[in-house]
C-alpha cells in the first residue's frame, strides 16, 4: 500500500474548483449531442456494464431516483455518462438491507469469507486494464497509475485472504482453578466508507477487503466526481456475491453528495465510518461521529517535505522530488509540498529540478 488514502487541504481546494467548473460546464454542455460512452473510441466502457444512464444505488438490487449527475473527463471536459444518485429514502432502505445482510455475513466462518474476497480479487484481475482505463478517463491520472490503483485493490484482497486464516485471540491464564480466559475478536457490523476522487478504486478496496474478511458489511459513498468508477467496481463485486448466493447488500453503494455523507456520519447504525478527504472536512466528520460516540477511521491531508543534506545523491534527489510532486498530478496526500535543502546544494538542486 504505497499511497496514502487522502487529500490535502490544497488538493481539496482544487477539487472544489474542479467541481465548480464542472457545474458551469454542465450548462455549456447541455446541448451537446453525445456522450463519450457512445463514441466507438470508448466502447470499452460497456465492458464494465456501464451505459448512458447508470443507477447510483446498489443494495442487492440496482436503483436510484435522486439527482442525475454527469461525469466529465477532466482531460477534455467531455461528458462520459450519467449516474442517478440516491435519495435519502433510498439511503435509509440501503442501510436497513445492509444491516440485515450482516446477520448472514457475520455467521460465515472467516476462512470462507476470505474465499469470497479471493474471488473478488480474481474478478478485478480480469478487468484490471479496462477498469484502470476508466480511472484514467474519469479521474485524470495516467493509465499506468489507473491500472496500478486497481492492482492495489487486488493486492489487499490477497492480503485479506491470508488474514482470514490468522484472526486469532490469546488464551490467558485465569485465577480460577481449571479455567482459562479466551479472547475472541468479533466484527463491528456496518462499515461506512466515504472515499475521495484521487483514488476512486484503491481507497475503497483497502477498506472493503479487510472489512469483509473481518466479518463486516460495507456501505460505500464514492466521490461525486467519479461516480462511474464507483458503479463499475460495485458491479464487479456484486457479481461475485450473486454467484455465491450471498446478499448483494453485503457491499452496498449509495452515490451522492454531502447529504449522504452527513447522514452516514450521524447514523448510529453505521458502526464504523472510514472517511478519506481533506483535513477541513475530516474535522467536521470527526465531530459528527464523536457526537454519537461512534468509531471513525480518518485518512486526511498531508504536508510533506523532502530534506536534502549536504552529502545527498542528487541523481536520486532530483527525479524523486519531481515525481513526488507531480505524480497523480499532485493529487494525493503523499505529494511533496516542500523541499528543505542544504544551502550549499540549493542553487544546483533548483536548477536541475527546473530543467
| Domain 9-166+186-299 falls under CATH 3.40.50.300 | no
Parallel/antiparallel/unpaired status of strands 57-58 and 251-254: antiparallel
The span from the CA of 52 to the CA of 111, in Å, is 39
| Predicted pLDDT at 327 | 86
| pLDDT tens-place string over residues 214-262 | 999 999 999 999 999 999 999 999 999 999 999 999 999 999 999 999 9
| pLDDT tens-place string over residues 288-332 | 999 999 999 999 988 899 999 999 999 999 999 999 998 888 888
Q: Quick one: CA torsion of 227, 229, 233, 234, rounded to 10 degrees?
A: 10
Q: Quick one: CA torsion of 124, 129, 133, 139, rounded to 10 degrees?
A: 40
Cβ within 8 Å of residue 8, ≥6 positions away: 278, 279, 301, 302, 303, 333, 335, 337
**Block mean pLDDT (10 aa), the chain, length 355:** 34 38 39 80 97 98 97 96 98 98 97 98 98 97 95 98 94 95 95 96 98 98 97 98 98 97 98 96 97 96 92 96 89 90 96 95
DSSP state of 44: G
Buried b / exposed e across 248-268, counting CB within 10 Å, b at 16+? Answer: bbbbbbbbbbeebbebbbebe
Cβ within 8 Å of residue 311, ≥6 positions away: none
Burial of 19 (0-12, 13-18, 19+ CB in 10 A): middle
| Predicted pLDDT at 1 | 37
Cβ within 8 Å of residue 145, ≥6 positions away: 135, 136, 327, 328
- What nine digits make up the cell of 132? 484502470
Q: How many CB atoms lie within 10 A of CB 195?
A: 28
Three-state secondary structure string covering 147-199 = HHHHHHHHHHHHHHHHHCCCCCCCEEECCCCCCEEECCCCCCCEEEEECCCCC
For CA atoms 208, 88, 264, 93, give the dihedral sign: negative
The span from the CA of 141 to the CA of 305, in Å, is 22
| Predicted pLDDT at 235 | 98
The span from the CA of 102 to the CA of 320, in Å, is 45
- Nearest one of 127, 119, 44, 116 to 80, comparing CA atoms: 44
Question: Would you please indicate which residues are annotated as catalytic (active-site) residues?
Answer: 299, 333
List the beta bridge partners of residue 182: 171
Parallel/antiparallel/unpaired status of strands 295-299 and 272-276: parallel
- So where are the chain's domains? 9-166+186-299, 304-354
- Count helices and strands in the chain by DSSP H and E runs: 11, 14
| Predicted pLDDT at 186 | 94
- What nine digits make up the cell of 189? 457490523
| Predicted pLDDT at 333 | 86
The pTM is what? 0.86
| Predicted pLDDT at 103 | 97
Amino acid at each position: 500500500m504505497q499511497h496514502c488514502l487522502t487529500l490535502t487541504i490544497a488538493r481539496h481546494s482544487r477539487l472544489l474548483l474542479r467541481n465548480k467548473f464542472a457545474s458551469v460546464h454542465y450548462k455549456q454542455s447541455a446541448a451537446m449531442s453525445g456522450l463519450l460512452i457512445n463514441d466507438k473510441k470508448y466502447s470499452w466502457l460497456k465492458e464494465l456494464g456501464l451505459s448512458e444512464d447508470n443507477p447510483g444505488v446498489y443494495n442487492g438490487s440496482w436503483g436510484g431516483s435522486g439527482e442525475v449527475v454527469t461525469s466529465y473527463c477532466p482531460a477534455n471536459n467531455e461528458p462520459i455518462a450519467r449516474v442517478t444518485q440516491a435519495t435519502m429514502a433510498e439511503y435509509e432502505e440501503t442501510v436497513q438491507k445492509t444491516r440485515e445482510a450482516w446477520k448472514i455475513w457475520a455467521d460465515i466462518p472467516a476462512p470462507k469469507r476470505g474465499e469470497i474476497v479471493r474471488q473478488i480479487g480474481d474478478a478485478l484481475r480480469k478487468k484490471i486494464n479496462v477498469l484502470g482505463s476508466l480511472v484514467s478517463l474519469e479521474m485524470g491520472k495516467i493509465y499506468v497509475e489507473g491500472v496500478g490503483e486497481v492492482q492495489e485493490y487486488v493486492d489487499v484482497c490477497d492480503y485479506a485472504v491470508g488474514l482470514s486464516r490468522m484472526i486469532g485471540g490469546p488464551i490467558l491464564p485465569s485465577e480460577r482453578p481449571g479455567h482459562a480466559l479466551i479472547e475472541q475478536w468479533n466484527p463491528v457490523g456496518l462499515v461506512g466508507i466515504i472515499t475521495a476522487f484521487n483514488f476512486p478504486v484503491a481507497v475503497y478496496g483497502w477498506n472493503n477487503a479487510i472489512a469483509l474478511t473481518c466479518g463486516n458489511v460495507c456501505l460505500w459513498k464514492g466521490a461525486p466526481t467519479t461516480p462511474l468508477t464507483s458503479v463499475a467496481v460495485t458491479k464487479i463485486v456484486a457479481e461475485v456475491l450473486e454467484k455465491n448466493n450471498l446478499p448483494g447488500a453485503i457491499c452496498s453503494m449509495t452515490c451522492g453528495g454531502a447529504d449522504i455523507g452527513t447522514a452516514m456520519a450521524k447514523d448510529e447504525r453505521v458502526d464504523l465510518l472510514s472517511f478519506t478527504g481533506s483535513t477541513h472536512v475530516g474535522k467536521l466528520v470527526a465531530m459528527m461521529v464523536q457526537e454519537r460516540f461512534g468509531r471513525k477511521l480518518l485518512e486526511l491531508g498531508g504536508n510533506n517535505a523532502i530534506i536534502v543534506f549536504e552529502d545527498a545523491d542528487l541523481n536520486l534527489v532530483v527525479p524523486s522530488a519531481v515525481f513526488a510532486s507531480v505524480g497523480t498530478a499532485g493529487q494525493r496526500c503523499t505529494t511533496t509540498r516542500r523541499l528543505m535543502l542544504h544551502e550549499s546544494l540549493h542553487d544546483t538542486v533548483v536548477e536541475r529540478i527546473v530543467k
